[in-house]
Structure 1
């Protein structure tokens, strides 16, 4: 049988369609160059001082994306993990805005881990009872790893069972590049992207309990000596109202943040993998510094861009 011949006109149309489709794919799915993804097209295009390393993403709720920059592959996120831990605990054990919730007894493991010099912890004693809300505060404000794992055991019976819940919630939120392997973030194998964590920030800021806790610069909790101080030192500057820091040698510094614009609009952003490989303290300083510059620029540029 003779091969079927495509008429010249049909072939020309097919070629033109292929060119148009290829151009559309380039716009909506930009290519990567030397391992770094080119920036996607933002809904609101502002001249912003994006961090020169790592990855970052930001948006204005009810307005749209401000864009993303940097590498798109998953990286360690350290204690930013605790945002998902709080989200899962409150989904399983919801609290009203003014509710303290059930009392939870501190176990011996949480007390033993409170003396660790290797990770951030909260000073809790075995047998002491704290409300669910107070334990969420001890996890999110001073970033108590031992409290994150205590909450995981209380909620699911074991940390492994709780981690399975974390990953199910991440999948439900469309966080396709995220893997949780612990409740605290101390494991370098817990990885995510700035765009995935921005999805989570959008979701948790709908919860009044999380909003209130992460906006607290410091607090006092019965049974814990002294003031509990927030690791997010940007609170109260440039409209910042939360969210959560993270730092480790592998992760560098990380910050999920929320701020109010001058008109009251909610601005959300995530900065990951700042100065990795050094000390956690240096990485955290880098994440706070780059985020502060980014937030200040958004506050400055947004009014003119949205008039």
Structure 2
């Protein structure tokens, strides 16, 4: 069964419902948002942008696609897909939002896994990112995924409209996440662990910090609780110098490292890295 298009959006200027009119989304106050030729809609108002081209650049997105398509993070994508499959096992219809979708690798893997498990599942999948380049790449990876250029701080989706929300190495805004989720919904968080990419970090930093996964305290209250938590650690295949370059470009490490650190990283070749992540699910108690 093909992925389903979105039927409802919210105007970012007044929060009124948007209705699709041909190749345009329009609210009752006649605010209009054209659908780009790549099939996504930009709902990030100019006044909410901190730069002319916010989020990851076109170069960063291309590097991320090149690296992820190498298969280096396939075990993580599979683990994430398995987690979502378990949460969706009782659903005949499912709406899933990837808040900070990047170039779509994880969301596409999850969608394929869901439909391979249940070919009759009525699935609506939406990738949201502040970077237009990310949303374009997501749509080019899978044109059935709905693409939204928007911020996690103001998600242009109605209240109680999503069943599962993914946030993979992203920036959570739990109040918004919980607003758009239905009763009984789930937030699936993927965060780096203390040993994540330790071999790379040892090369580019003078001092190594082994920090635990980010706290989820802001997302926990009387209605929301951590329903599952698992750690995943694996070694990537040996990475070529080209893949190390792409990995650096796609992460903040390139911009945080010193000149000497970047020079050491540029010499890395045929070295496996440790991937260390934590997958946690925050669920709504009905």
TM bucket, shorter chain? under 0.3
Q: TM (normalized to structure 2)?
A: 0.25
Structure having the higher Rg? 1
* Larger helix fraction of residues: 1
TM-score by length of 1: 0.23
